[in-house]
Amino acid sequence: DQQVKQNSPSLSVQEGRISILNCDYTNSMFDYFLWYKKYPAEGPTFLISISSIKDKNEDGRFTVFLNKSAKHLSLHIVPSQPGDSAVYFCAAKSDTDKLIFGTGTRLQVFP
């Protein structure tokens, strides 16, 4: 039972445009959400997080939006750069303090 879902396995965006990565979750008890970026053969790198008491958090080119009623979060990258090409994972912290990850979305930014 996948509690955190990333329904788009891949996304292709032109350099300079906005990349929007989506994530849905099923458990309303999740209270903290994170986004990670992963290059091949490396560990995931922490990008940005958001608490359930907020609906937006911004850090440079990265903004995460949380819609609790829809149990949906999204990561916006503006402007997208070729170096952003990677697999992006969203994660949710459960009430037992466990991090549950989605299956990832592969982002490709082309010139």
User: What are the residues binding other proteins (CB under 8 A)?
Assistant: 6, 32, 34, 36, 41-46, 49, 89, 91, 93, 96-104
Do β-strands 86-93 and 32-38 pair in parallel, antiparallel, or remain unpaired?
antiparallel
Shortest reach from residue 54's CB to other proteins, in Å = 13
Query: What does the alpha-carbon distance between residue 4 and residue 104 come to, in Å, rounded to a whole number?
Result: 10
Q: Which residues 6+ apart lie within 8 Å of 14 measured at CB?
A: 80, 109, 110, 111
Nearer to other proteins, 25 or 89 (CB): 89
Shortest reach from residue 55's CB to other proteins, in Å = 17
Shortest reach from residue 76's CB to other proteins, in Å = 20
Nearer to other proteins, 15 or 94 (CB): 94
Three-state SS for 84?
helix
